[in-house]
């Protein structure tokens, strides 16, 4: 005898958000790979250009752990796109400075990122795209602004290599 699955009373929001997020990340990764960047490299370049920031601050903004941040910065330095320098305000701290070549790459990568986002939203009628963005912004700043404590750590969805 087979047990019957419980009936679903609500849309599977977890699946919808996870799936669309995963596919969007894969499209972003493929588009940025064409110019030799990863999404993390793009994130570091753009945020480091905004203002003087330490490696730790950039890791927090990009939701990266310490090891991932070091690997990302090593790759940016190796490519001549960024470098670690002493902070102008705290000589004990080191900031990430974007090189001229890095600033040009950030400009290119931002156009790519904007294009990927535009294509995703462009697949919807204008009014639906506007409602979707407005609703997601409400969730991100409201009910789903911060994770709650769970008995076991929740892992974020992984991107397939």
CATH number at residue 35: 1.10.10.10
pLDDT tens across 77-128, in order? 999 999 999 988 888 888 999 999 999 999 999 999 999 999 999 999 999 9
Residue 48: domain span = 27-113
- Whole-prediction pTM value? 0.85
Q: How many domains does the chain have?
A: 1
Inside any domain, residue 85: yes
Inside any domain, residue 73: yes
Inside any domain, residue 70: yes
Inside any domain, residue 18: no
Inside any domain, residue 2: no
Distance CA 78, CA 100 (A): 14
State the DSSP H helix or E strand holding residue 4, giving kind and residue range, or none if neither. Answer: none
Inside any domain, residue 59: yes
Angle at 117 between CA 112 and CA 122, to 5 degrees: 120
pLDDT tens across 7-62, in order? 888 999 999 999 999 999 999 999 999 999 999 999 999 999 999 999 999 999 99
């Amino acid at each position: 005898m087979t047990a019957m699955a419980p009936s679903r009373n609500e849309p599977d929001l977890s699946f919808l958000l996870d799936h669309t997020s995963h596919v969007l990340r894969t499209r972003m990764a493929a588009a940025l790979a064409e110019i030799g960047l990863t999404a993390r490299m793009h994130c570091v370049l753009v945020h480091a250009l905004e203002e003087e920031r330490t490696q730790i601050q950039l890791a927090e903004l990009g939701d990266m752990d310490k090891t991932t941040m070091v690997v990302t910065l090593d790759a940016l330095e190796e490519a001549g796109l960024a470098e670690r320098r002493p902070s102008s305000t705290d000589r004990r701290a080191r900031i990430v400075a974007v090189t001229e070549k890095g600033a040009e790459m950030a400009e290119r990568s931002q156009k790519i990122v904007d294009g990927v986002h535009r294509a995703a939203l462009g697949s919807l009628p204008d009014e639906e795209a506007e409602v979707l963005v407005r609703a997601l912004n409400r969730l991100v700043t409201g009910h789903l602004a911060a994770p709650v404590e769970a008995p076991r750590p929740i892992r974020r969805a992984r991107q397939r290599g």
